[in-house]
């Protein structure tokens, strides 16, 4: 295998889009490895493994909880052997930073063995439990707790020297991200689901390390707003390509999504012509918008092929999305499961799984254009299904974590301070413009909870649901509205009645507002309040003008 411009984790998506098209469509992330390897384990096991890594510079570190200091020895072959109570390790192929710790002592191991960059290229971890606990380990990190995995790792390591490339799998739009606003916590779906620990919180949004990201795509699948999207391939490209293949395989009614790892199992299963097989980079990268578009185009069932022995948070999250999709479809009278997870052994009896007789059979297929707005794609697909099938209920209740729903406001406690409007990332909540009011567009609501977190009066309640009538869902509804409060001096409307009542109620007993003049100022607009303060302080000859500020007279 050549080490020049080698691609890691790059699967040709033959049934979705050509490899060359994908390379042109997205950015490339590069790695460089010289073969400097850190071996973690007992001195005997680690040195034995290191001796089998010809032409690679190995450094050994043993983690011993009883170590009181950092010890270093040098073997006759020149291998540095460290012992410490703790090892702090982070990074990726060509960029592993390792720090040995024992009490107050710390030692940067890459610097200690005089590596040019101070960083290790590779890590061979012989520990029973991996030092790096990510479900998807970074490239260049090989965990080998037994002889079988060790032999496999020793074979792989020499091939991980050189220059490598992989796609930057994701696109991120901070402007519609619902993670955080005004230092308030909202949605953390992508962080919670990332099996590679590549996503972290960063101020008003999130940060994705493209070197740690391995393209599982579950972050895009669970993102409520579409701020995180899959770039390899884009959702619109995947839908369009799948539709084209459906048109070519005219009698298909089942879609089977699988990765390259299951290609041979799929070929051996001798599937019927009703099954459209779609080889994808990661099954977890395709979510509700893709499923709905396929169903609207004539697919009655979608199988997702997962490894039988592997359980990962990203896969569990995708299956949760499938349950929400089933609940939305049940409101159209489709009670049968549509998206079903299977493993490689289930492929053999796939032909014996009969499709349910429901309203999807013989339905007219959708013709709408797709694009990369996941919520809009889902809405258009569901509009087509509603048109073809009709809805049983106007609104379908969903679990609390689902990304569709409404906000309600307790008018008896809401002061119309507009904190909820200011933090809403999707423009689901709007102000009343000319009057004190909070209005809402249901179709835009992400149920992220930022409005609830921002409300100082705890007046907001979130309810997850899906409204089938898109016209109704896109209407602007009023959640709370009051008559404006007018300044007692100039009569300009500057606040809501509730806000002034609330302020007066809270400040009446405060020592600064024990006279009528101070309380009356609370009923003035900003300009009149400043003017009243200046006049009351004896600042004769000073006049406050709205257009020019303070002016001598």
pLDDT at 391: 87
pLDDT at 8: 35
Give 214-240 pLDDT, tens digit per residue. Answer: 999 999 999 999 999 998 788 899 999
* Backbone angle region of 491, left / alpha / beta, with phi > 0 → left and psi within -120 to 50 → alpha: left
Give 155-188 pLDDT, tens digit per residue. Answer: 999 999 999 999 899 999 999 999 999 889 999 9
- Is the confidence at residue 21, as pLDDT, over 60? no
Per-residue pLDDT band at 256 (split at 50, 70, 90): very high
- Is the confidence at residue 406, as pLDDT, over 80? yes
> If DSSP codes are grouped into helix, strand and coil, which group holds residue 531?
helix
Find the helix packing angle between 374-389 and 235-248, rounded to 10°.
40
Do residues 317 and 193 make contact, with C-beta atoms less than 8 angstroms apart? Answer: yes
- Is the confidence at residue 434, as pLDDT, over 70? yes
Question: What percentage of the chain has pLDDT greater than the value 70?
Answer: 91
Per-residue pLDDT band at 357 (split at 50, 70, 90): confident
pTM of the model: 0.82
CB environment 165-199: b (16+ within 10 A), e (fewer): ebbbbbbbeeebbbbbbeebebbebbbebbbbbbb
Task: Tell me the C-alpha distance between 328 and 291, whole Å.
Answer: 12
Domains of the chain: 30-166 (3.50.50), 168-230 (3.30.70.20), 235-392 (3.40.50), 397-481 (3.30.70.3270), 504-552 (no CATH)
Closest CA to 87 of 74, 72, 102, 76: 102
Q: Which two tokens stand for residue 444?
A: 């835009």
The chain-wide mean pLDDT, for the chain, equals 88
10 compared with 114, residue with greater pLDDT:
114
Mean pLDDT of all residues in 276-295: 94
Strand partners, 257: 278, 304
């Amino acid at each position: 295998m050549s080490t020049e411009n080698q691609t890691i984790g790059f699967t040709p998506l033959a049934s979705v889009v050509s490899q060359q098209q994908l390379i042109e469509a997205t950015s490339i992330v590069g790695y460089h490895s010289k073969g400097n390897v850190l071996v973690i384990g007992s001195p005997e096991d680690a040195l034995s493994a290191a001796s089998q890594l010809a032409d690679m510079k190995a450094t050994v570190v043993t983690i011993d909880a009883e170590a009181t200091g950092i010890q270093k020895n040098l073997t006759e072959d020149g291998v540095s052997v460290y012992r410490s109570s703790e090892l702090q390790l982070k990074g990726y192929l060509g960029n592993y930073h390792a720090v040995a710790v024992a009490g107050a002592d710390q030692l940067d191991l890459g610097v200690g063995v005089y590596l040019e960059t101070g960083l290790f290229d590779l890590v061979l971890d012989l520990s029973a439990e991996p030092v790096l606990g990510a479900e998807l380990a970074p490239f260049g990190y090989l965990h080998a707790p037994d002889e079988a995995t060790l032999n496999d790792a020793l074979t792989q390591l020499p091939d991980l020297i050189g220059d490598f490339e992989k796609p930057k799998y994701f696109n991120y739009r901070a402007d519609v991200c619902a993670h955080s606003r005004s230092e308030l916590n909202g949605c953390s779906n992508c962080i919670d689901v990332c099996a590679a620990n590549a996503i972290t919180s960063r101020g008003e949004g999130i940060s994705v390390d493209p070197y740690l990201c391995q393209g599982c795509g579950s972050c895009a699948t669970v993102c409520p707003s579409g701020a995180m999207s899959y770039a390899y391939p884009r959702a619109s490209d995947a839908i369009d390509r799948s539709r084209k293949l459906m048109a070519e395989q005219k009698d298909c009614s089942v879609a089977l999504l699988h990765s390259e790892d299951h290609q041979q199992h799929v070929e051996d299963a001798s599937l019927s012509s009703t099954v459209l097989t779609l080889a994808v980079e990661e099954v977890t990268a395709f979510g509700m918008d893709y499923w709905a578009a396929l169903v609207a185009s004539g697919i009655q069932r979608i199988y997702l092929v997962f490894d039988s022995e592997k359980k990962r948070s990203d896969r569990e999250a995708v299956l949760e999305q499938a349950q929400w999709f089933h609940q939305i479809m049940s409101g159209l009278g489709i009670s049968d499961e549509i998206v079903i997870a299977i493993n490689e052994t289930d492929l053999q009896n796939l032909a014996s799984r009969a499709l349910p007789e429901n309203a999807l059979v013989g339905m007219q297929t959708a013709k709408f254009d797709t694009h990369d707005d996941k919520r809009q794609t889902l809405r258009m697909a569901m509009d087509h299904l509603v048109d073809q099938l009709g809805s049983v209920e106007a609104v379908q209740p969903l679990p609390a974590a689902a990304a569709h729903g409404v906000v309600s406001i307790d008018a008896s406690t809401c002061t119309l301070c507009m904190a909820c409007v200011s933090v809403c990332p999707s423009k689901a909540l709007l102000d009343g413009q000319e009057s004190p009011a909070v209005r809402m567009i249901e179709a835009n609501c992400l149920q992220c909870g930022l409005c609830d977190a921002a409300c100082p009066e705890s007046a907001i309640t979130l309810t997850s649901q899906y409204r089938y009538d898109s016209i109704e869902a896109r209407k602007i509804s009023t959640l709370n509205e009051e008559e404006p409060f007018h300044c007692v001096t100039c009569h300009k409307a500057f606040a809501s009645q509730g806000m002034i009542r609330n302020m007066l109620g809270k400040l009446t007993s405060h020592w600064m507002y024990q006279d009528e003049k101070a309380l009356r100022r609370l009923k003035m607009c900003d300009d009149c309040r400043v003017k009243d303060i200046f006049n009351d302080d004896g600042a004769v000859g000073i006049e406050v003008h709205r257009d020019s500020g303070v002016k001598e007279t």
